[in-house]
C-alpha cells in the first residue's frame, strides 16, 4: 500500500513527524545533545557526499582505489586522513586571519566534513537491559500460553495489511495452503480503474471485488478461497480505517496482525515515506494493542515487517539483528530512514506498552527462487532489467532502418550502463523465503521482542549481476562508477533521452540511479543472519542468490517482456504457464532450470511454450512431464 494521498486530518495531529522525535544531534566534544531542529535531508548519505565537488572527487578516487586494490579499510583511513588535513588547513587559515568565520569558509571551500557532532537514536525506554529482558520474557511466555491453549490445531485468524503488494500476494498464496490458518482478513482500499488512453474512470472496485479478483489471479479458489475476507481500510487512518462494527468483531476473533503495508519507493520525499511507513506502523501497532487488551481476546502477537536496511550504510560492518544504532555513514534514502523510525516505535510499544510483537527484516526482495515469478512487480531490481531489455529491443527494431539505427545505437550506448563498483555486494532474497518466514513467526513466541533478518549469507556482486544479464538478455551492460553516474552521467543521459523522444526510458534509468547509485557502491553492510533458522525454523541452506537472480532475468524477459505485459490477468496466466513449463523442463533434464546454461535454456523454453501466444505446446505428458 504505497501512500501517495494526503493522510486523514485525525492522524495528522497524532504524531510529530520531525526527525527529532527519534534522533538526537550530539556534540562529540561534550557528549551532550545539541538542541534544534534536524532537517531530514541531513540524515542521508548524499547530504554529506554529493554536495561539494571535492567530496565527489574524493569518493570517485576512493572507488577507483578500492577497485584496484580491494583494500577498503585502507581507503577509509585515507579518506579520514584527507579530511583531517583539510581541518588542519582550515584551522591555519583561521589562526592566520584571526577570524573563525574565515576558517569556516575555508572548510566549506575545500569540502571538509564537520565531525563536531554525531547523530544518535533516542532510546525507546529508560528501563535497564535486565528489566527489558524480563518484560520480553514475560510477553513470550504469555504468547506461548495462548498458543498452547489453542491446541495442536491452533485455528489462527490473521489480519493482514499490504495484501495487494508484492510480498503480500505471496503471503496470501502460501497462507492458502497453510492448515494452521483458518481466516485471513486483508485490509485493502477500493481501486479505481481508468481507461489507459483517456484516463477516465471506468469502474471503482470495492474491497471485496478487488479481493475476489486478486484470489482468482493467484489461483486460489474453492474451499481455499473461503478462508479469505477483504475489508475496507486505510493504514494512514486511525483504527486502520476499518469500520467500527468490523473492528469490534475482529477484537473478539483475531489471533495475529501482520503489518506488511509500506511505501517501497526509494525516491519518495520524506513526508510521503513518513506517512506510509511511520504513521501506518503506528496505526497498526495501536490497533493490535486494542485487540490484545480487549476482554476475552484471543490475540497472540503482532508481526511487523520492516527491512534489514534500517541499519543504513555501515561500510562493511556487520549489521547485527539485535542492535539498532544510527549508521555512521547515514541512510541511502527516506525509505530506510522512516523504516528505522518505525522500528523505534515498535520497540516502544513492546517495552513500554506491553504489546507482543516480533520484527522481521527482509533485505532486497526479488521474485520466487525457482521461477522468478513476481506477480507483475516492476520495481526495485526488476526496473533495471526491464530498462536494459527495452534498450536492446529498440536497437533490434531499428536494425533495418538506416535512419533509425544511429538513434537506436545511441540509446543503447547511454542506457546500458549499470552504476556499480565491481566489488559491491547486494543482499537479494526471494519472496517465497520472506513469506515463509512471516508465516513461520505466527507460532513462534520466541520471536517476540527479537529482530530477525530475512536475508541471505551468499550476497551477489555487481560484476556477477552484469555477467548474468549479458548471458540471459544478450545485452552488453557496462559498469560505471556510481559516484560519477549519480552526479554527472545520469542527468546528461536523461536529458539526451528526453531530446530523442524516449522520456519513459530516461525515467526508468533515473530510478535505476536512485536505487543502485547507492547500493552499487563498495562497502555495503553485511547483514547478520541466524535467527531465521534458529528461531523460525527456516531451511539452513538459504537460496542461491545467483540462481535466483538468473531466474529473475529469465522471467522478466519471457513472462513480463521487460515490463510490457502489464495486464494483471495476463501476467497471472503467463506465470502459471511458465511455472508448469519449468517443472516439465526440470523433470525431463533432471537438472534445476537455474543451473541450465542460458542458450540451452532458451531452446528448451521455446520447445515448451509458444512464445508468441505464450501457450504451452501440447499436453504436459507429451513434453516429458510426470504422468
What pLDDT, on the 0 to 100 scale, is given for residue 62? 63
Q: What angle do CA 108, 112, 117 make, to 5 degrees?
A: 105
Mean predicted confidence (pLDDT) in 23-36: 93
* Tens digit of each residue's pLDDT (9 = 90 or more) over 307-334: 999 998 866 678 899 889 999 888 989 9
At 455 the three-state DSSP class reads coil
d(CA 497, CA 487) in angstroms, rounded, equals: 17
d(CA 170, CA 258) in angstroms, rounded, equals: 13
What pLDDT, on the 0 to 100 scale, is given for residue 172? 98
Q: Which residue has the higher pLDDT, 109 or 448?
A: 448
At 163 the three-state DSSP class reads coil
What pLDDT, on the 0 to 100 scale, is given for residue 13? 47
End-to-end Cα separation, the chain, in angstroms: 42
* Tens digit of each residue's pLDDT (9 = 90 or more) over 130-182: 999 999 999 999 999 999 999 989 999 999 999 999 999 999 999 999 999 99
% of the chain with per-residue pLDDT over 70: 84
What does the mean pLDDT of the chain come to? 86
Residue 22's nearest CA partner among 325, 249, 288, 291 is 325
DSSP string, 299-361: --EEEEE--GGGG---TT-EE-SS-----TT-BSSHHHHHHHHHHHHHHHHHHHH---EEEEE
Contact 298, 143 (CB under 8 A): no
On the question of pLDDT at 3 being above 90, the answer is: no
What pLDDT, on the 0 to 100 scale, is given for residue 221? 94
Residue 394 CB partners (closer than 8 Å, separation 6+): 408, 411, 412, 502
For residue 525, name the pLDDT band (cuts at 50, 70, 90).
Answer: confident
* Tens digit of each residue's pLDDT (9 = 90 or more) over 261-300: 988 778 789 999 999 999 999 999 999 999 999 999 999 9
- Backbone phi, psi, residue 319, to 5°: -85, 105
* Tens digit of each residue's pLDDT (9 = 90 or more) over 464-489: 999 999 999 999 888 888 877 877 77
Contact 383, 508 (CB under 8 A): yes
Give the length of the chain. Answer: 627
Q: What angle do CA 482, 488, 492 make, to 5 degrees?
A: 120
- Beta partners for 74? none
Contact 510, 263 (CB under 8 A): no
On the question of pLDDT at 351 being above 80, the answer is: yes
Q: How far, rounded to the nearest angstrom, does the alpha carbon of residue 424 sit from its chain's CA centroid?
A: 18
d(CA 261, CA 160) in angstroms, rounded, equals: 8
What pLDDT, on the 0 to 100 scale, is given for residue 328? 83
CB-side exposure of 108: number of CA atoms within 13 Å? 6
- Backbone phi, psi, residue 22, to 5°: -115, -20
Residue 556's nearest CA partner among 496, 497, 469, 487 is 469
pTM (2 decimals)?
0.88
On the question of pLDDT at 572 being above 50, the answer is: yes
The radius of gyration of the chain from alpha carbons, rounded to an integer in Å, stands at 26
Site of grid cell 528501563: 127
* Tens digit of each residue's pLDDT (9 = 90 or more) over 385-441: 988 898 888 778 776 676 677 777 777 777 788 888 888 889 999 999 999 999 999
For residue 524, name the pLDDT band (cuts at 50, 70, 90).
Answer: confident
Lowest mean per-residue pLDDT among 7-16, 340-349, 579-588: 7-16
- Beta partners for 361? 453
At 420 the three-state DSSP class reads coil
What pLDDT, on the 0 to 100 scale, is given for residue 108? 55
What pLDDT, on the 0 to 100 scale, is given for residue 200? 84
Q: Which residue has the higher pLDDT, 528 or 5?
A: 528
**Strand 191-194 and strand 181-188: pairing?**
unpaired
**Strand 181-188 and strand 156-161: pairing?**
parallel
Residue 378 CB partners (closer than 8 Å, separation 6+): 386, 560, 563, 566
For residue 546, name the pLDDT band (cuts at 50, 70, 90).
Answer: very high
On the question of pLDDT at 204 being above 60, the answer is: yes
CATH topology classification for 126-367+428-454: Rossmann fold (3.40.50)
* Tens digit of each residue's pLDDT (9 = 90 or more) over 70-102: 666 666 666 666 666 666 665 666 677 777 665
On the question of pLDDT at 453 being above 90, the answer is: yes
d(CA 508, CA 490) in angstroms, rounded, equals: 11
What pLDDT, on the 0 to 100 scale, is given for residue 213? 95
On the question of pLDDT at 578 being above 70, the answer is: yes
Amino acid at each position: 500500500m504505497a501512500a501517495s494521498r494526503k493522510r486523514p486530518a485525525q492522524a495528522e495531529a497524532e504524531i510529530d513527524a520531525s526527525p527529532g522525535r527519534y534522533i538526537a544531534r550530539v556534540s562529540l566534544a561534550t557528549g551532550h545533545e545539541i538542541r534544534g531542529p534536524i532537517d531530514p535531508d541531513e540524515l542521508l548519505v548524499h547530504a554529506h557526499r554529493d554536495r561539494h565537488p571535492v567530496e565527489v572527487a574524493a569518493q570517485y578516487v576512493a572507488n577507483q582505489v578500492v577497485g584496484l586494490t580491494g583494500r577498503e579499510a585502507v581507503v577509509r583511513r585515507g579518506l579520514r586522513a584527507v579530511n583531517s588535513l583539510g581541518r588542519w588547513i582550515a584551522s591555519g587559515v583561521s589562526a592566520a586571519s584571526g577570524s573563525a568565520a574565515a576558517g569556516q569558509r575555508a572548510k566549506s571551500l575545500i569540502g571538509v566534513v564537520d565531525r563536531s557532532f554525531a547523530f544518535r537514536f533516542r532510546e525507546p525506554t529508560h528501563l535497564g537491559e535486565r528489566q527489558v529482558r524480563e518484560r520480553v520474557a514475560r510477553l513470550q511466555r504469555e504468547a506461548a500460553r495462548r498458543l498452547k491453549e489453542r491446541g495442536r490445531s491452533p485455528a489462527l485468524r490473521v489480519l493482514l495489511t499490504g495484501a495487494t503488494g508484492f510480498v503480500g500476494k505471496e503471503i496470501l498464496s502460501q497462507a492458502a495452503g497453510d492448515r494452521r490458518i483458518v481466516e485471513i482478513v486483508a485490509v485493502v482500499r477500493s481501486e479505481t480503474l481508468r481507461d489507459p488512453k483517456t484516463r477516465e474512470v471506468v469502474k471503482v472496485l470495492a474491497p471485496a471485488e478487488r479481493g475476489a479478483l486478486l484470489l482468482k489471479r493467484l489461483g486460489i479458489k474453492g474451499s481455499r478461497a473461503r478462508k479469505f475476507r477483504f475489508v475496507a481500510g486505510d493504514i494512514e487512518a486511525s483504527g486502520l480505517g476499518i469500520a467500527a462494527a468490523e473492528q469490534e468483531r475482529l477484537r473478539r476473533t483475531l489471533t495475529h496482525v501482520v503489518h506488511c503495508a509500506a511505501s517501497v519507493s526509494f525516491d519518495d520525499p520524506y513526508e510521503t515515506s513518513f506517512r506510509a511507513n511511520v504513521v501506518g506502523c503506528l496505526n497498526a501497532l495501536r490497533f493490535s494493542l486494542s485487540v490484545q487488551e480487549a476482554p476475552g481476546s484471543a490475540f497472540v502477537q503482532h508481526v511487523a515487517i520492516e527491512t534489514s536496511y534500517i541499519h543504513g550504510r555501515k561500510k562493511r560492518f556487520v549489521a547485527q539483528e539485535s542492535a539498532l544504532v544510527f549508521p555512521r555513514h547515514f541512510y541511502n534514502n527516506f525509505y530506510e530512514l522512516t523504516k528505522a523510525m518505525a522500528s523505534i516505535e515498535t520497540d516502544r510499544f513492546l517495552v513500554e506498552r506491553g504489546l507482543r510483537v516480533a520484527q522481521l527484516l527482509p533485505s532486497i526482495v526479488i521474485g520466487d527462487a525457482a521461477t522468478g515469478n513476481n506477480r507483475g512487480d516492476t520495481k526495485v531490481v526488476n526496473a533495471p532489467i526491464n530498462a536494459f531489455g527495452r534498450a536492446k529491443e529498440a536497437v533490434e527494431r531499428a536494425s533495418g532502418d538506416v535512419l533509425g539505427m544511429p538513434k537506436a545505437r545511441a540509446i543503447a550506448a547511454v542506457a546500458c550502463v549499470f552504476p556499480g563498483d565491481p566489488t559491491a555486494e547486494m543482499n537479494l532474497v526471494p519472496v517465497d523465503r520472506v513469506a515463509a518466514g512471516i508465516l513461520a513467526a505466527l507460532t513462534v513466541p520466541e520471536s517476540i521482542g527479537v529482530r530477525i533478518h530475512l536475508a541471505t549469507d551468499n550476497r551477489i556482486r555487481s560484476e556477477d549481476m552484469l555477467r548474468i544479464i549479458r548471458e540471459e538478455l544478450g545485452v552488453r551492460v557496462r559498469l560505471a562508477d556510481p559516484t560519477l553516474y549519480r552526479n554527472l552521467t545520469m542527468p546528461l543521459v536523461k536529458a539526451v533521452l528526453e531530446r530523442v523522444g524516449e522520456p519513459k526510458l530516461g525515467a526508468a534509468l533515473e530510478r535505476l540511479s536512485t536505487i543502485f547509485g547507492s547500493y552499487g557502491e563498495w562497502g555495503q553492510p553485511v547483514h547478520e543472519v541466524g535467527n531465521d533458522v534458529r528461531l523460525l525454523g527456516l531451511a539452513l541452506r538459504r537460496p542461491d542468490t545467483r540462481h535466483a537472480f538468473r531466474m529473475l532475468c529469465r522471467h522478466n524477459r519471457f513472462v513480463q517482456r521487460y515490463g510490457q505485459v502489464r495486464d494483471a490477468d495476463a501476467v497471472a496466466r503467463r506465470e502459471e504457464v511458465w511455472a508448469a513449463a519449468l517443472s516439465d523442463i526440470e523433470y525431463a533434464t533432471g537438472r534445476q532450470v537455474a543451473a541450465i546454461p542460458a542458450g540451452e535454456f532458451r531452446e528448451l523454453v521455446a520447445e515448451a511454450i509458444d512464445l508468441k501466444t505464450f501457450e504451452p505446446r501440447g499436453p504436459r505428458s507429451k513434453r516429458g512431464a510426470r504422468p
